[in-house]
Amino acid sequence: MEDHGFLKRHGIVRSAIRADIVFFAIPSMTVLVLGLYFCAKAGLSGFWGIAWHLITHPQELSELPLHRIVGLAFFFLGLAVATIGQITLWKNYSSTVVIREGHQLVIHGLYRFTRNPMYLGVITALIGLPMFASSLSGVLTMSALVPIFLIRIRLEEKLLTEAFQEQYQKYKSTTKRLIPFIF
């Protein structure tokens, strides 16, 4: 963004907004729309109705095929992880890659186990949808979000390293990037 006055007025001290739009927002929305198309084509309709029916009639869970059960579990587990991650960030949350005045490094809650629980949750939820719909092309398409999210993680980590220097380096050395205890 050329207008640094805009950033300053909004309390933004560091940003990667332009790179975020080009390397994350546009590709991830494209993949998401394509993945949802494949899911809808394969049979995603009725997802919310089935989910609500299982909440009100849990005894009928055994009547669903295994792929639908696993897909629902992935979706709701991922949604919960992403939501808890966002709530934990609270005032530090932003939909774009920015560091604001007064920004604090969050290393508690789910952030003790992974530096990016929200991305882990979103990826898990979005892979659950095509599993529910029994769409291999949907699973493969949604899996393409992983490298896109890794690009965004690099953008965020660059800004966080600049802002928090040694504190962030220490945090990185004790916490995995995306999957707790693994990666």
Residue 128 CB-half CA count within 13 A: 20
Q: Does 181 fall in a domain?
A: no
Q: What is the pLDDT of residues 103-123, one digit of tens each?
A: 999 999 999 999 999 999 999
What's the domain count of the chain? 1
Determine the structural domain holding residue 50 and report its residue range: 4-174
Global pTM value = 0.87
The percent of residues in the chain predicted with pLDDT above 70, rounded, is 96
pLDDT greater than 70 at residue 2:
no
Q: Does 182 fall in a domain?
A: no
pLDDT at 44: 80
Q: Does 127 fall in a domain?
A: yes
CB proximity list for 48: less than 8 A, separation 6 or greater? none
Q: Does 51 fall in a domain?
A: yes
pLDDT greater than 50 at residue 1:
no
Q: Does 45 fall in a domain?
A: yes
What average pLDDT does range 117-132 have in this prediction? 96
Q: Does 183 fall in a domain?
A: no
Distances (CA, A) of 26 to 19, 23, 40, 160: 10, 7, 21, 23
Residue 15 CB-half CA count within 13 A: 21
Q: Does 179 fall in a domain?
A: no
Question: Do residues 14 and 159 touch, judged by C-beta distance below 8 A?
Answer: yes
Say which CATH number the domain at 54 has: 1.20.120.1630
Q: Does 180 fall in a domain?
A: no
pLDDT at 46: 79
